[in-house]
Amino acid sequence: MKNIFVLIVISILFSSFAVSQTYNMFDADGNLIDDYKDENGLLSEDFLPYVKEYNSLDSALMEPNKVYKLNLINKDIDELPSELFELFNLQILDLSDNNITQIPDNINQLSGLQYLSLNNNKITNITEQIGELKYLLMLNVESNQLTNLPTNIGNCTYLQNLLIGGNKIEMLPIGICKLSMLMNLSAWGNKLKKLPDNFGDIMYLQNIDLSDNQLGSLPVSFGNLQSLMICNLQKNNLTKLPDEITKLENLPFLRISDNKLTELPKNIGNMKRLQMFNVSNNQLKTLPKSFKSIAFMQQLNLSNNKFTKIPSEISKLNMLFKLDLSKNQITVISKDIRGLSNINDLNLAFNKIEEIPKYIGEINTICVLNLYNNNIKQIPKEIEKLTKLRELYLNNNQINTIPVQIGALVNLSILNLADNNISSFPTSVENLSLLSELNLKNNNFTSLPSNINKLKELNNINIEGNKFEQSEITKIKTLLPNLTLIN
């Protein structure tokens, strides 16, 4: 997630900068023509993509008044060169992937700086003078050795993107709450234990990544982040979410996996716009009754919790197409599952399920069904109704036979039956015309039906750990000469 988050921010800001187009922006003396300036006297962002990017300090110093973009990525730089501060028009400076250890006090001389990238260096401290860069829009200091941020970071009132992930920061300064224009905060992989009480004052915050920290709680004001679109809180020490988080009624993406939650706020149903919710690797046993009101839920990950049954609340989630309840303690596939009228991907692996119910056939929208590592003994004939099924995983169960109705799964591409007690395959297998992968590892097979040669898409069969004679293996290879046979 963190990588995706950073890539989104960087691509938005810099992807257009490579566009090549010629504008006569400078007069005879090399000064920027007023038509290309914004209200602050800087080169307008409309034309910033088209100005020349300099890739060495030497070339930049040859015409310093024309330098608005300087790329010094991976130049083995230990400290900011003093000549750099002669580039008084600089608005974009990229010094990432170097060996810089500190940001000097005179950084404030680059008063027009808007985009400053210093990620992947060895920086231990950011000078307080950073707060004097009043036009700064983006600061990227990810993957350094910072333990804190300057207290006056809040003076960068235009700052929209703050990327501080992969450091050792233990606390965010109160001043960060003054960044009223901040939209993206990436603070993954630090040592944050708490957020400022007024964190919710950052009212335009849209994307936040606080994953892989040590947060034990969230401030009540977190519920004031009404513009939030992506919230990543995975890998923290959260034991409870504040009730106020349910005020985030427009939040579509929330990830709070790998915490210590035992319950969710009872009014979580107020978060009606939630589309992707990952609360895996916690200690949940039930869902609040209001959960059924999250009408726009599409992807729900409840894996590796302590559910003993499929929560009835999810049966009302009519837009849900992906549900992961793997690695729980579920023993029965309850009838509530029939309410998932649009489910596409259902994962119930690593539970204690003993039976696939007959009404499984009523969930005819399923394309991917994971039931591996359970205690299932047989496949019901009603499985024939799952005609949209593309992938079926029944490995590591106690299945003895395969019903002839398996041949009705005409869209099946992957079938995994490894680690069961199966000894034969029905001849209806010939109808699985799209089957490409078949895993029969560790069963009791001695042969496969001859009509398997009709499966023209089949390119991989695993028969390791069965009872095939060499003559049968030779027969299979003859029937399917282009097959990769693992034995």
Residue 323's CATH number: 3.80.10.10
> Sign of the CA dihedral 294, 315, 307, 388?
negative
303 in the same domain as 257 = yes
Same domain assignment for residues 280 and 347: yes
| Last residue of one domain, picked from the residues 315, 332, 353 | 353
pTM for the whole structure: 0.91
Would 185 be classed as within a structural domain? yes
Low-confidence winner among 315-324, 347-356, 477-486 (lowest mean pLDDT): 477-486
Phi and psi at 142, nearest 5°, equal -65, 155
Whether residue 9 is found in the same domain as residue 127: yes
Q: How far apart are CA 354 and CA 15, in angstroms?
A: 53
One domain, residues 252 and 198? no
Look at the chain and report how many structural domains it folds into.
2
Query: Where among 353, 372, 393 does a domain terminate?
Result: 353
Assess if residue 288 is contained within a domain.
Answer: yes
Distance of alpha carbon 480 from alpha carbon 441, whole angstroms: 18
- Relative to beta strand 207-209, strand 53-54 is unpaired
Answer yes or no: do 287 and 209 share one domain: no
**What pLDDT score was predicted for residue 12?**
44
- On whether residue 108 sits in a domain, the answer given is yes
Residues 262 and 125 in one domain: no
**Residue 416: inside a domain:** no
Q: Give the residue from 323, 353, 383 where a domain finishes.
A: 353
Give me 81's structure tokens.
């060169």
Mean pLDDT, all residues of the chain: 92
Does 402 fall in a domain? no
Whether residue 440 is contained in a domain is answered as: no
pLDDT in tens, 271-310: 999 999 999 999 999 999 999 999 999 999 999 999 999 9
Both 125 and 242 in a single domain? no
Per-residue DSSP letter, 121: S
Residue span of the structural domain in which 297 resides? 238-353
* pLDDT tier for residue 442 given thresholds of 50, 70 and 90: very high
Amino acid at 18: A
Asked if residue 125 and residue 80 are part of one domain, the reply reads: yes
Q: Is 227 a member of any domain? A: no
Looking at the structure, tell me whether residues 109 and 208 fall in a common domain. yes
Closest CA to 461 of 403, 417, 406: 417
134 and 167 both lie in a single domain? yes
Of residues 405 and 28, more confidently modeled:
405
Q: Average pLDDT for residues 61-66, to the nearest whole number?
A: 91
CA nearest neighbour of 241 among 221, 225, 261: 261
DSSP state of 208: E
387 domain-assigned: no
Query: Under 8 Å CB-to-CB from 12, ≥6 apart: which residues?
Result: none
**How far is the CA of 115 from the CAs of 3, 161, 436, in angstroms?**
19, 9, 50
Query: What pLDDT is attached to residue 422?
Result: 96
Query: Could you identify the residue written with the tokens 């959960």?
Result: 291
pLDDT at 38: 77
On whether both 28 and 176 belong to a single domain, the answer is yes
Same structural domain, 129 and 272: no
Reference 265, options 237, 294, 236; nearest CA is: 294
